[in-house]
């Protein structure tokens, strides 16, 4: 169970051994030049029903006595926002550009992958045609007539 401290935080179902989450973190970057991302992580035994992970959101007093297998604090940063000089008069302009670029990234990768696959297929077909042409010419050689 999770204790979201922010309504913008969304936690997605587990995918294999990976946990996935999303949150709106960069709304405050206009007032600050850089930020740090801090995550506090607990890993518990799923079969232990008294573990900290199965207790849900609890007070600090109760949390201190609960059990868990592993605990860590991770800090990532500083994360800095790029300043766009042409958009200085329009604060929403850069957000709009960034959103459009982010949405198009998978699409551009798909185009690149498709083009590379097409180019590879063209090369393979060209090699096969060249080999067949060489083999056909080898079958029809000039030969001496026998008397």
Q: Where along the chain do its domains lie?
A: 1-81, 86-141
The pLDDT tens digits for 25-68 are 666 656 677 778 787 777 777 777 777 777 766 665 544 445 66
Of the pLDDT bands very low, low, confident and very high (cuts 50, 70, 90), residue 105 is low
Whether 138 has a pLDDT exceeding 50, the answer reads: yes
Burial class (CB in 10 A: 0-12, 13-18, 19+), 52: buried
Q: Which two three-digit tokens encode residue 73? A: 């604090």
- pLDDT for 127 equals 92
Rounded distance, CA 101 to CA 107, Å? Answer: 10
Question: Does the pLDDT value for residue 7 go beyond 60?
Answer: yes
| Report for 76-80, 115-119, 133-137: range of highest mean pLDDT | 115-119
Taking the C-alpha atoms of residue 22 and residue 8, their distance in angstroms, rounded to an integer, is 8
Share of the chain above pLDDT 90, in %: 7
Q: Which of 82, 78, 110 is nearest to 94 (CA)?
A: 82
Q: What pLDDT is attached to residue 63?
A: 47
- Gap between the Cα atoms of 37 and 79, Å rounded: 8
Q: Which pLDDT score, from 0 to 100, does residue 125 have?
A: 93
Contact by Cβ (8 Å): 52, 42: yes
pLDDT of residue 3: 62
Tally of residues, the chain: 147
- The DSSP code for 57 is S
How much of the chain exceeds pLDDT 70, in percent?
A: 57
pLDDT given at position 68: 61
Task: Name the average pLDDT for the chain.
Answer: 70
């Amino acid at each position: 169970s999770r204790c979201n401290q922010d309504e913008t935080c969304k936690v997605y179902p587990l995918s294999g051994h990976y946990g996935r989450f999303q949150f709106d973190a960069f709304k405050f970057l206009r007032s600050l030049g850089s930020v740090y991302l801090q995550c506090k992580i607990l890993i518990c035994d799923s079969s232990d029903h008294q573990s900290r992970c199965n207790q849900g959101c609890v007070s600090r007093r109760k949390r201190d006595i609960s059990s868990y297998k592993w605990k860590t604090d991770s800090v990532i940063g500083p994360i800095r926002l790029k300043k766009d000089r042409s958009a200085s008069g329009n604060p929403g302009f850069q957000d709009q550009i960034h959103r459009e670029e982010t949405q198009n990234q998978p699409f551009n990768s798909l185009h690149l992958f498709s083009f590379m696959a097409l180019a590879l297929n063209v090369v393979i077909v060209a090699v096969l045609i060249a080999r067949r042409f060489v083999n056909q010419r080898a079958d029809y050689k000039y030969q001496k007539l026998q008397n």
